[in-house]
Amino acid sequence: MKIQKYTFGIGDRFAHQGQAQLRAILMAREADIDVHPVWNKSNREHSIIKSKPDDVRAEADAAVAALGFTGSYYVDADHIGLKTVDAFIPSSDFFTLDVADFTGKAADPEGVEAFLRAVRRYIGSLSIPGIERPFDLTEKTVRGAAAKFLLAVQEAGRIYRHVEERKGRESFVTEISVDETDTPQSPVELFLILAMIAEERIPIQT
């Protein structure tokens, strides 16, 4: 499943504003902004108000039908992990894999060495399109990024494959959340995180 260029998250926490929020999307379209809605709700939010993932799908489908919306829209299993994802699988076609709790925890040494071998060709002067100055990528930098993020991305791989086995590869959009942390990632760290995701063969689009 290929996502459109512009999507807009709709966090209708209490499930009463689906049509109102979709009208805002329609107003954007009237202004020639081709944006597509993503209804999102996390397991924590469901537990607080005693709703279920199926309720979000029902609300999204009902709002789309009531307003005659045409085009793609999505229902996001927001900020899920292996322990919480199963309830979302039948009704969701967008999965935000939240692995922030795994950042800063060490991956096994064999995994670190395998990742170092995979990106060794980038060590040296690294040019990233859109950034004027090149970066000096060293083995120390790679090992530092692996120490912070490799286990988290490996966990994302486990979650992705769990969903893929149950829904099929082309039936959902994948997003990975590693950004809800105390410190922002640098451009080089983001590059290396993307390399880790590629090694896990997770087809992220956002």
Distance CA 169, CA 69 (A): 26
> Token pair 């800063």 is at which residue?
104
Does residue 201 contact residue 194 with C-beta atoms inside 8 Å?
Answer: no
Does residue 60 contact residue 75 with C-beta atoms inside 8 Å?
Answer: yes
Collapsing DSSP to helix, strand or coil, 41 comes out as: strand
Long-range contacts of 164-168, Cβ-Cβ distance < 8 Å, separation of 24 or more: 166/89, 167/89
Contacts with 201 (C-beta within 8 Å, 6 or more apart), sequence order: 157
Q: Where are the domains of the chain?
A: 1-98, 101-166+183-206
Collapsing DSSP to helix, strand or coil, 69 comes out as: coil
pLDDT tens readout for residues 140-192: 999 999 999 999 999 999 999 999 999 999 999 999 998 766 778 889 999 99
pLDDT tens readout for residues 1-59: 899 999 999 987 887 889 999 999 999 999 999 999 999 999 999 999 999 999 999 99
User: For position 15, what pLDDT does the model report?
Assistant: 79
pTM: 0.93
pLDDT tens readout for residues 90-110: 999 999 999 989 999 999 999
| Residue 181: φ, ψ to 5° | -130, 175
Which secondary structure element, helix H or strand E, spans residue 77, and what is its range? strand 74-80
CA torsion sign, 59 to 63 to 65 to 69? negative
User: For position 180, what pLDDT does the model report?
Assistant: 63
Q: Per-residue pLDDT averaged across 51-74, rounded?
A: 96
